[in-house]
A = this chain, B = another copy of it.
Amino acid sequence: MNRQVAHNDVAATMQAIGVRARAAAPALALASSDAKNRALVAMADAVDAGAGAILSANALDMEAGRAAQLSAAALDRLKLDAARIAAIGEGIRAVAALPDPVGQVIAAWDRPNGLRIERVRTPLGVIGVIFESRPNVTADAGVLCLKAGNPVILRGGSDSRHSSRAIHACLAKGLAQAGLPADAIQIVPTADRIAVGEMLKGLDGNLDVIVPRGGRGLVERVQREARVPVFAHLEGICHVYVDASADLAMAKRIVVNSKMRRTGVCGAAETLLIDRAGADRLARPLLSALADSGCAIRASEDLRAMFPASEPASEADWKTEYLAPIISAKLVDGVDGAIEHIERWSSHHTEAIVAQDAAAVARFFLHIDSAILLHNASTQFADGGEFGMGAEIGIATGRMHARGPVGVEQLTSFKYLVRGDGQTRP
């Protein structure tokens, strides 16, 4: 088969997937909360009951991954075990327990002419999720989209294809048991990269939004090439600013937790900013606490003078997402210095201030335009589950439609329902 024929085949497959997703939309939009929740519970049961099959599929992926000499980190992302499979089932049940967003009245008001206006949530449309090695994204994305009444097209990485298909088979069982359309959750059957290109072009208008889940390379390509809206963050260059007014013990806990709880997540802190006015009291204990927890420190010159067990920071450090036990650190002139540094270097994902001074906090909250700002709490709370959204399909740093954790509500649109008793417009 020559290259062009293969290309046309994949393109045709993808167009057909788009058409089927769009066709499934009305039934899904009208599906009762009860039907959706029955499907979700049946999916969770199928995942629990199918753990053996999922593990066998995952063993194939792991074997291929080792043969392809994937990194240890990639293999860890790929790996499933009994606990991780149990967590997938629990995650699905948590989504079943969430309130149904579809049909919720977001706002309602009356007009002087007697018209009653309601703004009511509706599904958003067909969602495309393009992900890499984590097979659990199959379930996370599939069930969140279902809860919000949206058909979803899942395109996983080739590394995890056996695992993803085994999980998808469980989701399909749940849809069938509840009488919901099989095309509500489709998985792209080919590892061909042309499939991604077709999704980025929007499948002839049958794809409404794309959510990329994976490394910087993937997200960059999607943001650059997609002709449909994208919910994503390219990176999480998150900051913790410790004000001169901070409680030292609290600051130590928050700084160490923000950086070291898990260094590979997008909400992990990458830069520590310390108020110059409090440096004598704060700098050494904070940096010592980080070093004691196993974190390497790259510090500005003035800070290195106070803590010699650090490397010099270069400008590149202020824009680096380490995703590793490394932190950049700098002295700044109070909250205004922190704001200046953050507005220049941040990826507008998540920033925290540790302070007792309410005026400093108010300034930080007002002047910084990031998706999530925290006062006296760890940046690692940047997570849909921690926000009480039940689950998330990702975290967005754009300002359009969704920002911060993307949960079921962010996967909806709305329409206006207006009730009158014969009103005409003068």
Q: Show the binding face of A for B, using Cβ within 8 Å.
A: 26, 29-30, 109, 111, 115, 117, 122, 124-125, 208-209, 229, 247, 250, 253-254, 256-258, 261, 343, 365-367, 369-378, 380-381, 386-388, 399-401, 403-404, 413-425
Contact indicator B381/A425 (Cβ below 8 Å): yes
Q: Which of B258, B380, B416, B421 contacts A373 (CB 8 A)?
A: B416
Q: Pull 10 A–B residue pairs with CB atoms less than 8 Å apart, ordered by A.
A: A208-B399, A253-B422, A261-B425, A375-B420, A376-B422, A380-B424, A381-B425, A403-B413, A403-B415, A404-B415
Q: Which residue of B is nearest A251, CB measured?
A: B422
The interface residues of chain B lying within 8 Å CB-to-CB of A388 are 109, 111, 117
Contact between chains at B369 and A387 (CB < 8 Å): no
Contact present for B400 and A208 (CB under 8 Å): yes
Residue of B nearest to A258 (CB): B424
A413 nearest in chain B by CB position = B399
Min CB distance, A41 to chain B, in Å? 24
Given contacts A373-B418, A377-B423, A381-B418, 11 further A-B pairs with CB under 8 A are A111-B386, A115-B377, A115-B381, A117-B388, A124-B400, A250-B421, A376-B419, A376-B421, A386-B425, A403-B413, A403-B415
User: For residue A343, which residues in chain B have a CB less than 8 angstroms away from its CB?
Assistant: 26
**CB <8 Å contact, B416 and A372:** yes
Q: Please indicate the chain B residues that have their CB under 8 angstroms from the CB of A365 in the complex.
A: 417
A372 & B421 in contact (Cβ 8 Å cutoff): no
Shortest distance between the CB of A202 and any CB in chain B (Å): 12
Q: How far is the CA of A250 from the CA of B337 in the complex (A)?
A: 65
Grouping DSSP codes into helix (H, G, I), strand (E, B) and loop, the A interface class, with mixed when no group exceeds half, is: mixed
Instruction: Given the known inter-chain contacts A109-B388, A400-B124, please indicate yes or no for A29 contacting B420, CB distance below 8 A.
Output: no
Copies of this protein in the assembly total 2
Report the separation of the CA atoms of residues A109 and B407 in the bound assembly, to the nearest whole angstrom: 16
Tell whether, in the assembled complex, residue A373 and residue B415 are in contact, meaning their CB atoms are under 8 Å apart.
yes
Provide the residues of chain B in CB contact with A26, threshold 8 Å. 343, 367
Contact, CB under 8 Å: A418 / B370? no
Q: Give the shortest distance, in Å, between A373 (CB) and chain B (any CB).
A: 5
Q: Which residues of B contact A261 (CB under 8 A)?
A: 424-425
Contact A415 B377 (CB under 8 A): no
Residue of B nearest to A25 (CB): B369
Residues from chain B with a CB closer than 8 A to the CB of A124 are: 399-400
